[in-house]
Amino acid sequence: MSQSAKAIIQSMLETCGLTINGPKKADLQVKNERFYDRVLQEGSLGLGEAYMEGWWDCEALDELFAVVLHAKLDQMLSNEMRLKVGLEVIKGKLEGFLLNSQSKHRAFIVGEHHYDIGNDLYEAMLDKDTMSYTCGYWKGAKSLAQAQKNKLDLICRKLKLKPGMKLLDIGCGFGGMARFAAEHYGVSVYGVTVSKEQQRLGMERSKGLPVEIHLQDYRDIQGEFDAVVSIGMFEHVGPKNYETYMNVASRVLKNGGLFLLHTIGSNISLSKANAWIDKYIFPNGVLPSIAQIGKSIENHFVMEDWHNFGADYDKTLMAWHANFVKNYEQLKGRYNERFYRMWRYYLLSCAGAFRARDCQLWQVTLSKNGVAGGYQSIR
């Protein structure tokens, strides 16, 4: 073990009030001294893999990440480490510039790797009513189920849905939005997903409703719709495809129609995801920035409303984590201890990121050719 590596990490953590092997819930408990070199050499990937392998632990992972990200510890690296990290960032940007990781022939990778893990996992973790795997809207809500219903109703009202309308749901997940809109607003819904398991369960749960769920890439969508919604899918589109995505949405939306984009957002423009998240959770995913979304909607849409409720994702992720831990006993036959640590690390590190306001959650309401007389924001 390099003493300098340990000293660097100790010094960085001390600046935000954390101590190696300290008594606070957010303190790291290091169990393998090789941890320090691994983290400085491999960055976020090494940190996450070391946790999965039991090299370190923390009683409150969510709070650890909230503190570390809020303090922007990466800015405190030594010149040597800053150069190393800088080279990795440059490499990632070059890969993002030269390669289209979200091209059409790669579109189904994230479905197979993440969303097809097993419906038993998602049924145990998500709310029973809607099975929404996206941020809930917690205004006035006391439960995860209510927060998810609030979110779906908010979207329907923002889209001004009325009986008889045709709604396109790009990235429809398990069909929660489609079912809610059909049941409560009398619309017919055409949904697309890149997950075979989501399609199968979504269709089962939508029986008797005017809902179709197709295993289909968004670039192949045809037809004409009164409204379009995309909830938690734009994160998989990739910067090289943002304009293509907007072109598809515009092409299939009727004149005067509304398109609601619900997406996690980054405070800065990125071309590549966090290395650990990319390898273990969402391959090829990239969070969009305000600048990137703004550029992509030029010549396609009028931006009518931009709503940020990113802090609600912290509550949502913590609720999912509580469900996962509570129900793990019934899952452990299929998901081993390494998976358990990986999944907890995913949920809690993301909760910490939203708590630190390092990530955002945006609902952007767009219109085709503008709303006559102006659009009234709904909250």
Model confidence pLDDT, tens digit, residues 194-220: 999 999 999 999 999 999 999 999 999
Query: Quick one: pLDDT at residue 164?
Result: 98
Indicate the pLDDT class of residue 113, thresholds 50, 70 and 90.
low
**C-alpha to C-alpha distance for 146 and 140, rounded to whole angstroms:** 9
Question: Are 69 and 352 within 8 A, CB to CB?
Answer: yes
Percentage of residues in the chain having pLDDT higher than 90:
83
Domain coordinates in residue numbering, the chain: 3-98, 104-367
CATH level 2 (architecture), domain 104-367: 3-Layer(aba) Sandwich (3.40)
Query: Quick one: pLDDT at residue 79?
Result: 44
Record the pTM. 0.91
Find, among 279, 308, 304, 303, the residue nearest to 293 by Cα.
303
- At 1-37, the pLDDT tens digits run 456 899 999 999 999 999 999 999 999 999 999 999 9
Average pLDDT over residues 127-131: 97
CA dist list (Å): 259 to 46, 169, 355 = 40, 10, 28
Indicate the pLDDT class of residue 90, thresholds 50, 70 and 90.
very low
Q: Which of 58, 172, 350, 359 is catalytic?
A: 350
Helix (H) or strand (E) holding 191: strand 188-193
Strands across the sheet containing 253-266: 211-215, 188-193, 166-170, 225-231, 253-266, 359-367, 302-308
Give the number of other CB atoms < 10 A from CB of residue 113.
Answer: 16
Q: Check if 350 is active-site.
A: yes
Q: What is the mean pLDDT of the chain?
A: 91
**C-alpha to C-alpha distance for 44 and 173, rounded to whole angstroms:** 28
Name the token pair of 138. Answer: 């917690």
**C-alpha to C-alpha distance for 317 and 354, rounded to whole angstroms:** 9
Average pLDDT over residues 250-269: 97
Is the model's pLDDT at 99 over the cut of 70? no
